[in-house]
């Protein structure tokens, strides 16, 4: 069974993924753009906006975070700065793609690519910049939609030869193409596959994707799609009814949300520290009187 990484975009969604028992999460660039900017994934987010998201998640969860770094936000020198920053903020793996700036969501039309030489240079720059050899550098190619499927495999192979730790061929059209990706590349490095609801790749169960040779399956946008649909339903009911009374079965109540985010444990921690501080104060008073 491959590793499954649900998409996240803030501390709350990362916490929910960890609490659900998943072993890692995928920090989706598209979802960060949707939620931070209310805009589509067209290369509008900045390096600092993404790094801030990583830091907030890492402060709250311990599971590995696979981070979508888009194009690295510039050339090879920008890539090095991005890798160093994201690694400091808590990224466990950093994904770089071969699109030009401004990039587009991998399942949108109209993408353009940098040369193979430029992308391999950026990957080598990323590998040189990382501080921890365990921080994975994932190479993504969007060539299927631009140069064709065979060219995408050629690019991915070149990226593996450049030292990438994992390969991600974006948007294969069917299971036959997925199988060809694995047959050509699985002997080189582990493979990542992207499941996008309504995207160009068919939705295939993770177990089957594992059989096809993929090690990591990401679901980058499902979380935000589920939440936005639920939120639209809530707003429609509130506008019509003027109350949330008819939606109580579709939401967590106040105490349930407080438990989800760890209120009881934080209160207990706070009380323990308050006791320690009081004890320290008492000792200080004793010494002052002696």
Mean pLDDT, range 270-277, rounded to an integer: 76
Helix (H, G, I), strand (E, B) or coil at 209: helix
Phi/psi of residue 16, each to 5°?
-65, -40
Q: Which residues pair with 136 in a beta bridge?
A: 93
pLDDT tens digits, one per residue of 205-257:
999 999 999 999 999 999 999 999 999 999 999 999 999 999 999 999 999 99
DSSP secondary structure letter of residue 109: S
Beta bridge partners of 113: 99
pLDDT of residue 276: 56
State the chain's maximal CA–CA distance in angstroms.
84
Query: pTM higher than 0.85 for the full model?
Result: yes
Confidence of residue 108 (pLDDT cuts 50, 70, 90): confident
Convert the pLDDT of each residue in 124-169 to its tens digit. Answer: 999 999 999 999 999 999 999 999 999 999 999 999 999 999 999 9
CA distance 29 to 7: 9
Give the percent of the chain with pLDDT over 90: 88
* 92 pLDDT more than 60: yes
Contacting residues for 125 by C-beta, under 8 A, at least 6 apart: 76, 77, 79, 80, 83
Question: What span, in angstroms and rounded, lies between the C-alpha atoms of 264 and 185?
Answer: 48
């Amino acid at each position: 069974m491959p590793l499954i990484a649900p998409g996240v975009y803030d501390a709350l969604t990362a916490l929910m993924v960890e609490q659900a028992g998943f072993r890692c999460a995928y920090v989706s660039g598209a979802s960060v753009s949707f939620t931070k900017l209310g805009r589509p994934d067209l290369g509008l987010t900045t390096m600092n906006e993404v790094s801030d998201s990583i830091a907030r998640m890492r402060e709250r969860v311990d599971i590995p975070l696979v981070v979508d770094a888009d194009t690295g936000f510039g050339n090879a020198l920008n890539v090095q700065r991005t890798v160093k920053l994201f690694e400091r903020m808590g990224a466990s793996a950093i994904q770089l793609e071969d699109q030009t700036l401004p990039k587009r969501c991998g399942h949108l039309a109209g993408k353009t690519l940098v040369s193979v030489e430029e992308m391999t240079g950026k990957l080598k720059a990323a590998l040189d910049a990382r501080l921890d050899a365990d921080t994975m550098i994932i190479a993504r190619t969007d060539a299927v939609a631009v140069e064709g499927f065979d060219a995408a495999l050629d690019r991915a192979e070149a990226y593996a030869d450049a030292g990438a730790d994992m390969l991600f061929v974006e948007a294969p059209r069917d299971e036959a193409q997925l199988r060809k990706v694995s047959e050509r590349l699985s002997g080189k490095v582990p493979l990542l596959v992207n499941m996008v609801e309504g995207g160009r790749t068919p939705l295939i169960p993770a177990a089957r994707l594992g059989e096809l040779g993929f090690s990591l399956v990401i679901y980058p946008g499902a979380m935000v799609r589920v939440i936005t649909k639920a939120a639209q339903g809530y707003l429609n009911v509130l506008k019509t009814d003027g109350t949330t009374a008819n939606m109580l079965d579709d939401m967590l109540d106040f105490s349930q949300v407080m438990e989800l985010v760890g209120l009881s444990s934080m209160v207990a921690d706070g009380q323990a520290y308050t006791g320690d501080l009081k004890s320290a104060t008492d000792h200080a008073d004793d010494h002052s009187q002696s």
